[in-house]
Every structure is written in C-alpha cells, then in structure tokens.
Chain A
Amino acid sequence: MPIATLIGLVSAFQQTATQEPVTELPPNLMVSIRETNLKFDDIPGFIGFKFKIGSSTRNHTVYIRKKNETYRSLNVHEMFGNVYESKTEPTGDQLLKIFSTRFSYGGLVYEQPSASQPNYRVRFRTVIAGDIATANLRKLLDLCATTADSIEKDLTSKDVF
C-alpha cells in the first residue's frame, strides 16, 4: 500500500484564507508531533509536513493549523492538504463531482476569494484533538497526504501541492 514519506521541509507555503496570528500549539500536541520523528516546518500559523506519495514522483504537503477551534468540550486543530487553488472558479460540474466524493474520514472545504486572499481554493481536511496520540497523529498525517494528493491529481492532473 502507498505510504506517504516525509521528504523534507516545506519549500513554498500558501496560507489559507486569513493571515494567521503567530500562535503556538499546545505543548502536548507539540510533544506528539516531535514523537512522530518527522521533520516539520514551523511557520507562522501552521506546522507543515512535506510527503512523498508512495512510489510515485508525487509530493503533497500537509498542514496543522496552530489556531484551535472550540465548541463546548471540543478543542481541535485543523489538519489539511490543499487540492485546488486558482483565480479560475471551479465549474458547478467540477464542484458537484468532487463534493459528491464519499470519505471514510474528513472531507472537502471550498473557499471563495475574500479580502485576504484572491483565489478559489479547495482543501481536504480533518481535525485533530490537542491530546492526540502520536501513532494516531502519524496515521492521520499519512492519510491526509495521500487523500489530498489523490483528489488534486484527479481534479487538476497536476502536482502543485
């Protein structure tokens, strides 16, 4: 089965919609990240991991958003891989196709241009709890990388992210 292999640091970074304030991840999540023994790039607002996809020549970068989201007892951080970014708006048919994809974990988010960024974007994402176990974190990073890459390949035939 294909394995997402960490190949190095994030060389180019595309921020998502908002300019993220510099914050730190909770200490226990940073511990889990370090215990994965993966190289990562600590950049404003995000932690980035660049993976090689299986035995292919394709790569994909997965980000963990430093800013947490809360709701009642839920306290989570977004983990995502970008799959589309362009000033060209996806067609209705393209959106209907990819957003009809069924996922056993995670899903797609669509972002339109805003005051802070000019592009149409789609990303595959899930969320992780601040106390996620290291083994589970590693599995989800791999899963996010391979899933996002698969969608990017099918949607654009490119390997940008």
Chain B
Amino acid sequence: MFAPLTLTAILATSPQTAPADKGRAAIELGLKATGLNFGTSTSGKSFTVTFDHENNQKQVVYVATEGSALSGMQSHIIYSQCWSNGGLAPSEKVLKLALSKSKKLGQFYVYKDTSDKYAIRFGVHFDSNLLPVKPTSGEPTVMTLKDLIYFVDAVAFETTTEMKGMQ
C-alpha cells in the first residue's frame, strides 16, 4: 500500500468506488455539445460512446459521469478496455507488451473489479471545470473533450486488435 499523502493524484479510495463528486451535469452538457451519440452504462457510472469499426467490431469509450475533485479540477477519466482474458490477471508477457505501448497522451493501466476480475484499459483525464456553463460545439474545450474520446477509441481499438486472444 502507498503511504497516504494528501495532495497527490493517487486515489486513496477503493479502485471500485470513485469519490462522489460534482461534474456530472457539466460533462453531460459537454458531451451533448460534441454532437457524439452517447448513452449511459448499466452501472450509471459512465456515459458511453460506441464506435463502429471494420468487420462489424465495436469499441466502447466510457466517460466517468462524476469527476474526482483535485486541486480545483473536476477530473473525469475517459477510458476503454483493450484486453481481458476471462477476468484472469494478465501474464507478464501481456502486461509488458501493453504497458510498453507509449502513446502521445494517456496511459494503459490494469483494472481489477470488485470480483477480482482483471482487464487492461487505456485512459486519459479531462477536467470538466474547463467547460463553460453553456458549452457549444465550437468551444475549444468541447473540441478537446471530443478529440480525447476519439483518441481513446483509436488507441484502444488498435490495442484490442493487436492483443486479441493473448494470454
């Protein structure tokens, strides 16, 4: 366990329980302004944007409905799953392959849910406090939100394709 420090970006809470903070209304308005079709995940914890790819493949990008309050920001993670093997922990080979894929921005990380099931995800963060009260499609921060979603989709789909079936 990490020693508890207050002003760090490390989430001190359980990974399965994001802090209940503000930001849902702002991020929802921001998503509407992007013009992207979005829904809500089964859990209600994320908005979802589904992208169609070749061979009828789909990639779902999740945008956390609630952000983490951090140093004046309201930070929402935008992520997509890249690999899973029935919930088993990634092998060393899979882990090193995924983690070595350095991208322009964003990070790969290992996610473990409440049932101890593992997956590898790719994600970025977005500060919803940067959005104006009434965001419009031409607003730079709206374009940032939209392009972050596109970027996560592109990276996650490429990685999903490359690592499909790896154990």
Contacts and interface: CB of A to CB of B under 8 A. Distances in A.
Interface stretch (B25-33, B46-54, B55-63, B70-78): B70-78
- Main SS of chain A's interface residues? mixed
B151 A71 contact: yes
B87 interface: no
Interface in A54-107: 54, 69-74, 76, 78, 91-92, 95-96, 99-107
- Main SS of chain B's interface residues? mixed
A106 B9 contact: yes
Interface stretch (B36-44, B141-149, B156-164): B141-149
Contacts of A154: 2-3
Nearest to A16: B102
Contacts of A150: 2-3, 5, 8, 10
A47 interface: no
Contacts of B45: none
B134 interface: no
B10 A101 contact: yes
A109 interface: yes
Given A74-B148, A112-B100, A105 B105 contact: no
A147 B106 contact: no
Contacts of B5: 2, 54, 146, 150
Given A73-B143, A95-B96, A143 B70 contact: yes
A108 B3 contact: no
Interface string B1-39: 011011111110001000100000000000000000000
B70 A2 contact: no
Contact of A112 (B75, B96, B107, B108): B96
A92 B96 contact: yes
A124 B125 CA distance: 14
Interface of A: 1-3, 17, 54, 69-74, 76, 78, 91-92, 95-96, 99-112, 124-127, 129, 135-136, 139-140, 142-144, 146-147, 150-151, 153-154
23 contacts: A1-B7, A69-B104, A71-B150, A72-B147, A76-B105, A96-B89, A96-B90, A100-B111, A101-B2, A101-B10, A101-B11, A102-B109, A104-B10, A105-B73, A106-B125, A110-B96, A110-B99, A111-B100, A126-B9, A129-B144, A147-B8, A150-B2, A153-B3
